[in-house]
Amino acid sequence: MSAPSQRVSVLRLGHRRERDKRITSHLGLTARAFGANEVILAGEEDESALDTWRSVSDRFGGDFECRYEPKPMALLRRFSQDAGDGHPGIIVHLTMYGESWRESLNSIERGRPMVIVVGGTKVSGEVFRLANHNISIGNQPHSEVAALGVFLESFIGPLDESKHFQGGEIQVVPSLDRKQVMSLGEE
């Protein structure tokens, strides 16, 4: 499966700066690594999370955006009506209460802008109603980072890292027996 031709954003709802800093940081890193175009932080404003994501993109490459959204529900309402192209966007809500991702995957429209909603604190019932798809990676409690990684890998598929992550300062070279990092800076 090749990467979809659509813009994929990940919306992190309900971020709490002190309680969620690591998990939110890892959500953004997972979104980037598995092919999303941007991560949108909602909840408590936290410049450190945005700085982390920007720094990783600078060092490892890729065209990944991140920003803070003070009114995430207003964003979702607008997006459900118009994704910026005059047509409604696709909203996928990752929740353990949703339909099986394996059964839902083929019903998700491709080629249209998408927002993947990942909750932190209790998610409003309005999110369930606005979402085109309420999808569960499993109906047991688990990490939202794992759910996002599984969903993106199954929806976007494997990335060609040499194309997707261009423009970085360094590149990790796969190795069976040692850490190997190649500097991509000007020589």
Domain boundaries, the chain: 8-183
67 bridge partner residues: 40
110: CB partners within 8 A, 6+ apart? 4, 5, 6
Residue 167, pLDDT score = 87
The tokens for 126 are 């309005």
Cα(69)–Cα(107) distance, integer angstroms: 29
Mean pLDDT of the chain: 89
Tokens 């598995």 correspond to 34
In the predicted structure, residue 142 carries a pLDDT above the cut 70: yes
Give the pLDDT band (50/70/90) at residue 39.
very high
The phi, psi pair for 154, rounded to 5°, reads -80, -30
Question: Looking at residues 113-118, what average pLDDT do you find?
Answer: 97
Question: Looking at residues 31-47, what average pLDDT do you find?
Answer: 93
Fold of 8-183: Alpha/beta knot (3.40.1280)
Q: How far apart are the first and last CA of the chain?
A: 36
Name the helix (H) or strand (E) containing 95.
strand 90-100
- Note whether 44 and 16 are within 8 A (CB): yes
